[in-house]
Structure 1
């Protein structure tokens, strides 16, 4: 005689439904967080300002400077340049994306104390 838990059809259905619900990402899957980290490593030598980043494996963002945010999703970097045009670059080439973002590093961002003051007459 078999045990009641071994041949219970409800237990088998429950186990199969749990197995179908748990999805594991393949080891070769794209990770947006690591792509943004690689881009930040490339830009660290050029840009001496703090860069902020956040994200997960599907979507990540990095603030390069005021008004320039680089998004990474589906294996691509996206950002809007100074004119407002959307630039798209493959995420497996962080060196090329850093080269495209380098002109922004030469532009000065707002600094306290660099505004015009009225001279006392």
Structure 2
């Protein structure tokens, strides 16, 4: 801002995809160095916090609708998270959404083996 002489900047829709942009921008302004992007688990924490805050101030239907649309935005910066996105989109309630996020906090091996076990049980019950 000093180099260009501008008095401010506008942050658009990109902040919906990467809400941590504000933390990184403040770090850059304070230190002159861009802080690293949040880790995968920090991003999961951000999603969970988003769900919790929406749930605190809005009706359940609004929380479900909002997160079902926002999860695609979050997912674009998280790599291959199709299961996370599908889990959020199909969650019937806020508790299920938070459990889906919690599943993704587990180490990959634990999550994959649990999903495999669930699929095996589903197939066996047919």
Which entry has the higher C-alpha Rg, 1 or 2? 1
TM range (shorter): under 0.3
- What TM-score do you get using the length of structure 1 for normalisation? 0.24
The structure, 1 or 2, with the larger RCO (C-alpha pairs under 8 Å, 6+ apart) is 2
More helix by share: 2
More strand by share: 1
- What TM-score do you get using the length of structure 2 for normalisation? 0.23
